[in-house]
């Protein structure tokens, strides 16, 4: 069914004010799961520009039958116009669902229950007072680590929380939870003793100089390297829910392997997910530049798993912070999956289990990372179950749902 935008000027004249009728467009979206396994909280993302609405989309309603489901519109480039619509759905094995999307030129105050959360907090001159922000940039030689609370953007689903260090490491640091729920707005990644007694989670990994979980690093032929020197370094908070969070770690003028690269590492975390989608974006096609990513060798003695075709995982125990009196050791499982076409070879150094990657003549590539903490009441008891789950996770990513739009 196609409903064209109504632009007839049912004009009401009052003084010098003109009011035009709201424009709407309704489309049908068919989502099919061809796989023999059910999918839970499967992301569905629609490119708004491909719909050719003829108007600026300012709100949307997604329905499955007569039931409205949570969705969000995201502006990816800060031009104040929606670029994508996103929602999640559950799909039985070998099934399909039909959704109706109604796009409108009118704004709405409608809200949905949040299943994810993200924040960027600037430190202020007053202790324990912070200013909310959406972007920060600084010269590449600036000391930026302490500018932001939790040292960078933090984002979470009900299952896990991440933060991205705002410095040359750009590492993902990890916050594990005992129970499912959103905690970061209240704990700000640093729970108080009272919050810990209530069952809040906490930092579960000491990343040192590693790639943590899935951080993209440079590669010098024998080990991972930091993202430096750069002309400018920045972070941007693009979306904070209720369906997904989107956070950018950006560098401009990265002097790397004889080139100057402008690069964005974009992290997307969906409701119901412990895995983050990582899109690496460049403003020019790559040549032969080689990078690396993978998982940390936790405590330098982690158990490692690799399928030698893009999946690498680890399981290990270490102190999560330098304070070994107040805190106890944490056991953590990590996993990273890179599509095979980007892989050049397996590698490792003192800190990491890695794959080296490249994408000649391409301006972007995508891969995924995830983690679990042994403290989870809903998680994994040992390395065997974690590595088994990682293999199923890879299979699921390689069997994406088919999305068909009927305008």
DSSP string, 31-95: EEE-SSS-EEEEEEEEEGGGG--SS---EEEEEETTEEE--EEE-SSSSSS--EEEEEEEE-TTE
Bigger pLDDT: 21 vs 281: 281
Task: Determine the Cα–Cα distance for residues 78 and 76; give it in Å rounded to an integer.
Answer: 6
**Beta strands across the sheet bearing 161-164:** 116-119, 154-157, 161-164, 172-176, 202-203
* Predicted pLDDT of residue 127: 85
Chain mean pLDDT for the chain: 93
Q: In the structure, what pLDDT confidence band is assigned to residue 15 with cuts at 50, 70 and 90?
A: very low
Residue 48 has φ and ψ, to the nearest 5°, of -60, -35
- The 10s digit of each residue's pLDDT in 337-356 is 999 999 999 999 999 999 99
For the chain, give the percent of residues with pLDDT over 90. 91
Q: In the structure, what pLDDT confidence band is assigned to residue 6 with cuts at 50, 70 and 90?
A: very low
DSSP secondary structure letter of residue 152: S
| Segment 283-311 mean pLDDT | 97
Is the pTM higher than 0.75? The answer reads yes
- Residue 14: pLDDT above 70? no
With a CB cutoff of 8 Å and minimum separation 6, the contacts of 180 are 158, 159, 378
Task: Determine the Cα–Cα distance for residues 101 and 71; give it in Å rounded to an integer.
Answer: 10
- The 10s digit of each residue's pLDDT in 156-182 is 999 999 999 999 999 999 999 999 999
Q: In the structure, what pLDDT confidence band is assigned to residue 321 with cuts at 50, 70 and 90?
A: confident
- The 10s digit of each residue's pLDDT in 70-93 is 999 999 999 999 999 999 999 999
- Residue 223: pLDDT above 70? yes
* Predicted pLDDT of residue 20: 60
- Residue 1: pLDDT above 70? no
């Amino acid at each position: 069914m196609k409903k064209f935008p109504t632009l007839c000027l049912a004009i009401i004249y009052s003084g010098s004010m003109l009011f035009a009728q709201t424009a709407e467009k309704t489309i049908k979206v068919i989502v099919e799961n061809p796989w023999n396994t059910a999918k839970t909280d499967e992301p569905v993302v629609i490119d708004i520009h491909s719909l050719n609405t003829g108007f600026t989309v300012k709100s949307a309603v997604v329905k499955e039958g007569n039931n409205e489901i949570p969705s969000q519109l995201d502006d990816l480039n800060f031009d104040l116009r929606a670029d994508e619509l996103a929602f999640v759905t559950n799909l039985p094995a070998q099934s399909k669902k039909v959704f109706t999307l109604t796009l409108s030129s009118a704004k709405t105050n409608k809200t949905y229950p949040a299943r994810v959360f993200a924040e960027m907090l600037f430190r202020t001159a007053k202790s324990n007072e912070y200013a909310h922000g959406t972007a920060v940039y600084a010269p590449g030689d600036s000391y930026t680590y302490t500018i932001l609370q939790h040292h960078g953007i933090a984002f979470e689903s009900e299952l896990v929380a991440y933060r991205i260090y705002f410095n040359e490491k750009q590492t993902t640091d990890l916050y594990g939870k005992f129970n499912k729920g959103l905690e970061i707005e209240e704990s700000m990644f640093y729970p108080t003793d009272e919050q810990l007694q209530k069952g809040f989670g906490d930092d579960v990994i000491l990343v040192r100089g590693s790639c943590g979980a899935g951080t993209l690093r440079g590669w010098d032929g024998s080990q991972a390297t930091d993202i430096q020197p750069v002309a400018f370094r920045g972070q941007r908070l693009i979306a904070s829910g209720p369906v997904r969070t989107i956070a950018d770690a950006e560098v401009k003028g990265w002097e790397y392997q004889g080139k100057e690269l402008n690069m964005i590492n974009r992290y997307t975390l969906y409701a119901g997910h412990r895995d983050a989608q990582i899109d690496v974006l460049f403003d020019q096609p790559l040549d032969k530049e080689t990078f690396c990513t993978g998982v940390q060798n936790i405590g330098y003695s982690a158990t490692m798993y690799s399928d030698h075709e893009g999946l690498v995982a680890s399981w290990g125990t270490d102190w999560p912070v330098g304070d070994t009196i107040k805190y106890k050791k944490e056991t953590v499982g990590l996993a990273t999956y890179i599509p095979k076409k980007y892989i050049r070879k397996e590698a490792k150094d003192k800190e990491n289990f890695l794959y080296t990657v490249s994408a000649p003549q391409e301006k972007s590539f995508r891969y995924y990372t995830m983690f679990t903490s042994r403290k989870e009441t809903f998680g994994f008891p040992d390395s065997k179950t974690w590595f088994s789950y990682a293999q199923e996770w890879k299979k699921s990513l390689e069997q994406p749902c088919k999305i068909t739009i009927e305008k």
